[in-house]
Amino acid sequence: EALIQRSMRDVRVPVLTEAQYLEIASIRRELEGFAAGRAAEMAGPKEIRRLKKIVERNEAAAVAGRWPQAVKYNQEFHFALVEAAEMPILLAILSGLWLRMGPLIAGYYAREQLGLVRHHQAIIAACESRDPAAAAAEMRADIDDAKEGIIRYIQSFTIDE
Protein backbone atom coordinates (compact mmCIF):
# COMPACT_ATOMS: atom_id res chain seq x y z
CA GLU A 1 0.00 0.00 0.00
CA ALA A 2 1.30 3.44 -0.94
CA LEU A 3 -1.20 5.24 1.33
CA ILE A 4 -3.34 4.34 4.31
CA GLN A 5 -6.62 6.17 4.81
CA ARG A 6 -7.38 6.17 8.52
CA SER A 7 -10.37 8.51 8.25
CA MET A 8 -11.83 11.02 5.78
CA ARG A 9 -9.19 13.57 6.76
CA ASP A 10 -6.32 11.32 7.81
CA VAL A 11 -4.30 9.80 4.99
CA ARG A 12 -0.80 8.60 5.82
CA VAL A 13 2.23 7.19 4.06
CA PRO A 14 3.08 3.93 5.81
CA VAL A 15 6.67 3.39 6.88
CA LEU A 16 8.00 0.21 5.35
CA THR A 17 9.20 -2.44 7.73
CA GLU A 18 12.81 -3.50 7.46
CA ALA A 19 11.73 -6.79 5.85
CA GLN A 20 9.53 -5.00 3.30
CA TYR A 21 12.32 -2.57 2.43
CA LEU A 22 14.87 -5.38 2.01
CA GLU A 23 12.50 -7.33 -0.22
CA ILE A 24 11.82 -4.31 -2.45
CA ALA A 25 15.52 -3.39 -2.53
CA SER A 26 16.48 -6.92 -3.60
CA ILE A 27 13.82 -6.91 -6.34
CA ARG A 28 14.95 -3.46 -7.52
CA ARG A 29 18.58 -4.58 -7.42
CA GLU A 30 17.89 -7.40 -9.88
CA LEU A 31 15.38 -5.63 -12.12
CA GLU A 32 17.16 -2.29 -12.28
CA GLY A 33 20.53 -4.01 -12.71
CA PHE A 34 19.03 -5.91 -15.64
CA ALA A 35 17.61 -2.68 -17.08
CA ALA A 36 20.95 -0.85 -16.71
CA GLY A 37 22.70 -3.63 -18.61
CA ARG A 38 20.09 -3.47 -21.34
CA ALA A 39 20.37 0.34 -21.47
CA ALA A 40 24.13 0.00 -22.03
CA GLU A 41 23.29 -2.06 -25.11
CA MET A 42 20.44 0.13 -26.37
CA ALA A 43 21.08 3.76 -25.39
CA GLY A 44 22.01 6.13 -28.17
CA PRO A 45 23.49 9.63 -27.96
CA LYS A 46 20.08 11.22 -27.28
CA GLU A 47 19.36 8.94 -24.29
CA ILE A 48 22.88 9.41 -22.92
CA ARG A 49 22.51 13.21 -23.16
CA ARG A 50 19.22 12.94 -21.25
CA LEU A 51 20.83 10.84 -18.50
CA LYS A 52 23.72 13.32 -18.21
CA LYS A 53 21.32 16.25 -17.96
CA ILE A 54 19.38 14.56 -15.14
CA VAL A 55 22.63 13.87 -13.24
CA GLU A 56 23.74 17.51 -13.68
CA ARG A 57 20.40 18.73 -12.29
CA ASN A 58 20.65 16.23 -9.44
CA GLU A 59 24.13 17.46 -8.51
CA ALA A 60 23.07 21.12 -8.69
CA ALA A 61 20.05 20.50 -6.46
CA ALA A 62 22.18 18.64 -3.90
CA VAL A 63 24.86 21.36 -3.84
CA ALA A 64 22.13 23.96 -3.30
CA GLY A 65 20.61 21.88 -0.48
CA ARG A 66 17.37 21.32 -2.39
CA TRP A 67 17.02 17.71 -1.26
CA PRO A 68 13.42 17.11 -2.37
CA GLN A 69 14.50 18.11 -5.89
CA ALA A 70 17.67 16.02 -5.72
CA VAL A 71 15.63 12.97 -4.73
CA LYS A 72 13.17 13.66 -7.58
CA TYR A 73 16.06 13.72 -10.07
CA ASN A 74 17.39 10.49 -8.57
CA GLN A 75 14.12 8.72 -9.35
CA GLU A 76 13.97 10.40 -12.76
CA PHE A 77 17.41 8.98 -13.58
CA HIS A 78 16.39 5.45 -12.60
CA PHE A 79 13.23 5.67 -14.73
CA ALA A 80 15.04 7.28 -17.70
CA LEU A 81 17.51 4.40 -17.65
CA VAL A 82 14.66 1.89 -17.93
CA GLU A 83 13.19 3.97 -20.76
CA ALA A 84 16.60 3.92 -22.51
CA ALA A 85 16.50 0.13 -22.14
CA GLU A 86 13.15 0.24 -24.02
CA MET A 87 11.35 -1.77 -21.33
CA PRO A 88 7.94 -0.15 -20.70
CA ILE A 89 6.52 -3.17 -18.85
CA LEU A 90 9.47 -3.14 -16.46
CA LEU A 91 8.98 0.61 -15.98
CA ALA A 92 5.37 -0.04 -14.89
CA ILE A 93 6.53 -2.69 -12.40
CA LEU A 94 9.26 -0.45 -10.99
CA SER A 95 6.86 2.50 -10.71
CA GLY A 96 4.81 0.50 -8.22
CA LEU A 97 7.89 -0.39 -6.18
CA TRP A 98 9.14 3.21 -6.19
CA LEU A 99 5.71 4.42 -5.12
CA ARG A 100 6.02 2.28 -1.99
CA MET A 101 9.58 3.21 -1.12
CA GLY A 102 9.83 6.74 -2.56
CA PRO A 103 8.91 8.53 0.70
CA LEU A 104 11.45 6.41 2.58
CA ILE A 105 14.24 7.22 0.11
CA ALA A 106 13.29 10.91 0.11
CA GLY A 107 13.33 11.13 3.90
CA TYR A 108 16.60 9.26 4.19
CA TYR A 109 18.52 11.38 1.68
CA ALA A 110 17.04 14.63 2.99
CA ARG A 111 18.21 13.72 6.50
CA GLU A 112 21.63 12.32 5.57
CA GLN A 113 22.31 14.73 2.69
CA LEU A 114 24.39 12.20 0.81
CA GLY A 115 25.42 12.41 -2.83
CA LEU A 116 23.14 10.46 -5.12
CA VAL A 117 25.04 10.43 -8.41
CA ARG A 118 28.38 8.63 -8.03
CA HIS A 119 27.11 5.35 -9.44
CA HIS A 120 24.88 7.19 -11.91
CA GLN A 121 27.94 8.74 -13.53
CA ALA A 122 29.56 5.30 -13.78
CA ILE A 123 26.37 3.88 -15.32
CA ILE A 124 26.42 6.60 -17.97
CA ALA A 125 30.09 5.84 -18.70
CA ALA A 126 29.17 2.15 -19.07
CA CYS A 127 26.38 3.10 -21.50
CA GLU A 128 28.85 5.20 -23.51
CA SER A 129 31.30 2.30 -23.72
CA ARG A 130 28.52 -0.26 -24.33
CA ASP A 131 29.46 -2.29 -21.25
CA PRO A 132 26.31 -4.00 -19.94
CA ALA A 133 28.09 -5.88 -17.14
CA ALA A 134 29.57 -2.65 -15.72
CA ALA A 135 26.25 -0.81 -15.99
CA ALA A 136 24.42 -3.62 -14.17
CA ALA A 137 27.10 -3.83 -11.46
CA GLU A 138 27.01 -0.06 -10.85
CA MET A 139 23.22 -0.06 -10.56
CA ARG A 140 23.33 -2.90 -8.06
CA ALA A 141 26.02 -1.03 -6.10
CA ASP A 142 23.88 2.13 -6.20
CA ILE A 143 21.02 0.27 -4.53
CA ASP A 144 23.28 -1.67 -2.15
CA ASP A 145 25.19 1.41 -0.92
CA ALA A 146 22.07 2.92 0.65
CA LYS A 147 20.87 -0.27 2.38
CA GLU A 148 22.55 0.08 5.78
CA GLY A 149 21.65 3.75 6.11
CA ILE A 150 18.04 3.21 5.08
CA ILE A 151 17.73 0.32 7.54
CA ARG A 152 19.02 2.62 10.31
CA TYR A 153 16.51 5.23 9.16
CA ILE A 154 13.64 2.69 9.37
CA GLN A 155 14.84 1.61 12.82
CA SER A 156 14.77 5.24 13.99
CA PHE A 157 10.99 5.23 13.43
CA THR A 158 10.42 1.95 15.24
CA ILE A 159 12.61 3.02 18.21
CA ASP A 160 10.58 6.25 18.62
CA GLU A 161 7.24 4.44 18.71
CATH assignment of the domain containing 39: 1.20.120.530
In a domain, 145, yes or no: yes
Rounded to an integer, the average pLDDT of 58-76 is: 91
In a domain, 57, yes or no: yes
In a domain, 132, yes or no: yes
In a domain, 19, yes or no: no
In a domain, 97, yes or no: yes
Non-local CB neighbours of 33 within 8 Å, separated by 6+ positions? 136, 137, 139, 140, 143
pLDDT digits (tens, 9 = 90+) for 32-66: 999 999 999 999 999 999 999 999 999 999 889 89
Domain range enclosing 97: 30-160
Q: Structurally, how many domains does the chain consist of?
A: 1
